[in-house]
Amino acid sequence: MSRVAIIGAGIGGLTTAIGLQRRGWDVSVFERSGANSQVGAGLSLFGNGFRALDAVGAGDAVRAIAGPPQRLTTGQRRRDGRWLATTAHSLISELRVVHRADLHRVLTDELEPGTVTYGKEVDGPLDGFDVVVAADGLRSPTRGTAIRYSGYTSWRGVTTRPVDLLGGAGESLGRGERFGLAPLPDGRVYWFGVVSMPAGTPFPDEFAEVRRRFASWHAPIAEVLDATDPAAVVRTDIHDLAKPLPSFVMGSVVLLGDAAHAMTPDLGQGANMAIEDAATLTCVLSTLPIKDAIAAYDEIRRPRTQAVARKARLMGRLLQSRNPLRDVLLRLTPPSVTARQLTALQQWSPPEVTLAA
Ligand SMILES: Cc1cc2nc3c(=O)[nH]c(=O)nc-3n(C[C@H](O)[C@H](O)[C@H](O)COP(=O)(O)OP(=O)(O)OC[C@H]3O[C@@H](n4cnc5c(N)ncnc54)[C@H](O)[C@@H]3O)c2cc1C
């Protein structure tokens, strides 16, 4: 039986573990944090993420916590609530927002008990494994390459009770700041505020800063903030990789998820890409000899993930822009352009790999 070590029990590491364990691999996952230590708020999963979850056999378990499709108007609006651009429901019919902690729980439950060793920080080479998957995130010690600050920071939260979104979700845009609203399946609301400022800018009271900036924006933003426990709000400065990597493979070590291609969250695709990576790696490792499989993984995943990372950064720059022309551009973008972009983002199916004769 082939043996794989996976560094990191994030979304990428857990999904890889599920895929390979179901294909008969002996899987060991090492996670430096304790069990159930996942913080965070909501997470958007798109059609591509769900198809990749289906490919490893975890799609239905995740759909069960993701709830039915939403019929809210979504897109971008001004801080007074006037819509600049809306997105056709047909383009995001599979989009669901889940709570991160629920997703982690469901993915962990799909594994055989004891697969993940918690509280184990990997700080050197791992011997005795046929493949090592470094799914150790943005600051991957395995990768070592520098990260760069995007120019904006974020706060994320989830309301403690259901709040009526008054028919609308998506992002509302100010000058160098924006606020996002998304419904969770149980009626609670996942929200995020994003503001351009130097990295690490300190605030004596983080939540007071969020209120100061956003509580006067359109309804129901003030109500959403009122319904949030300030202690559960997460502040994250947004980074991506300083440079695209020339390879996702180092000998028998494979980089996956944010470790390979950390991107800004402006397209809501980082975790979706990690899940696609996991499904692709599972597919090639169950079809090809190990050396060929990891070369194929690199060849298949690098172009797509690096293109998505580039687009995410450009989208972030546009959405954070202080230039009033930004709103004109959003209003005048033809729906066919948005449709093309969203379709390309969500187009994913398992790679077709066959053994050479
Ligand atoms: C504000 C914000 C909003 C986002 N929203 C979305 C969204 O809506 N949709 C989406 O798809 N993506 C979103 N993302 C991106 C998404 O969170 C990441 O892309 C995703 O979590 C990456 O998963 P991962 O498994 O690669 O890495 P991580 O989730 O970072 O997991 C890495 C794991 O490795 C562990 N680890 C690190 N080093 C070691 C070590 N030496 N030994 C053992 N364990 C180690 C860490 O503790 C961690 O658990 C967002 C990101 C941010 C910052």
Phi, psi of 166 (to 5 degrees): 55, 35
Tokens 């600049």 sit on residue: 84
Task: Decide if 314 is inside a domain.
Answer: yes
Beta pairing partners, 43: 98
Query: For atom 30 of ligand 1, which residue has the closest CA?
Result: 137
| Cβ(221)–Cβ(172) below 8 Å | yes
Task: Decide if 347 is inside a domain.
Answer: no
Q: Within 13 Å, how many C-alpha atoms sit on residue 132's CB side?
A: 17
- Give start and end residues of each alpha helix (H) in 83-232: 100-109, 206-214, 221-226
The pLDDT tens digits for 142-192 are 888 899 999 999 999 999 999 999 999 999 999 999 999 999 999 999 999
- What local confidence, expressed as pLDDT, does residue 145 receive? 83
CA 114 to the chain's CA centroid:
26
CATH of residue 247's domain is 3.50.50.60
Task: Decide if 60 is inside a domain.
Answer: yes
Domain that holds residue 63: 3-68+112-148+242-321
How much of the chain is helix, strand and coil, in % rounded to 5? 40, 25, 40
Task: Decide if 15 is inside a domain.
Answer: yes
Task: Decide if 304 is inside a domain.
Answer: yes
The pLDDT tens digits for 28-50 are 999 999 987 767 789 999 999 99
Pocket-testing residue among 108, 171, 258, 319, ligand 1, by greatest number of atoms within 8 A of Cβ: 258
Task: Decide if 48 is inside a domain.
Answer: yes
- What local confidence, expressed as pLDDT, does residue 68 receive? 84
Tell how far the Cα of 128 is from the centroid of ligand 1, in angstroms: 26
For residues 116 and 118, give the distance between their C-alpha atoms in angstroms, rounded to a whole number: 6
| Cβ(164)–Cβ(246) below 8 Å | no
Task: Decide if 346 is inside a domain.
Answer: no
Q: Count structural domains, the chain.
A: 1
Tell how far the Cα of 25 is from the centroid of ligand 1, in angstroms: 24
| Cβ(146)–Cβ(242) below 8 Å | yes
Tokens 């899940």 sit on residue: 275
Tell how far the Cα of 48 is from the centroid of ligand 1, in angstroms: 18
CB-based pocket (< 6 A), ligand 1: 7-13, 30-33, 43-44, 121-122, 135-138, 141, 154, 156, 236, 238, 257-259, 265, 268-272, 274
CA 65 to the chain's CA centroid:
17
What does each of the 357 residues of the chain score in pLDDT, given as a tens digit?
Answer: 999 999 999 999 999 999 999 999 999 999 999 987 767 789 999 999 999 999 999 999 999 999 888 889 999 999 999 999 999 999 999 999 999 999 999 999 999 999 999 999 999 999 999 999 999 999 998 888 899 999 999 999 999 999 999 999 999 999 999 999 999 999 999 999 999 999 999 999 999 999 999 999 999 999 999 999 999 999 999 999 999 999 999 999 999 999 999 999 999 999 999 999 999 999 999 999 999 999 999 999 999 999 999 999 999 999 999 999 999 999 999 999 999 999 999 999 999 877 655
Task: Decide if 54 is inside a domain.
Answer: yes
- Ligand 1: atom nearest CA of 121 is 42
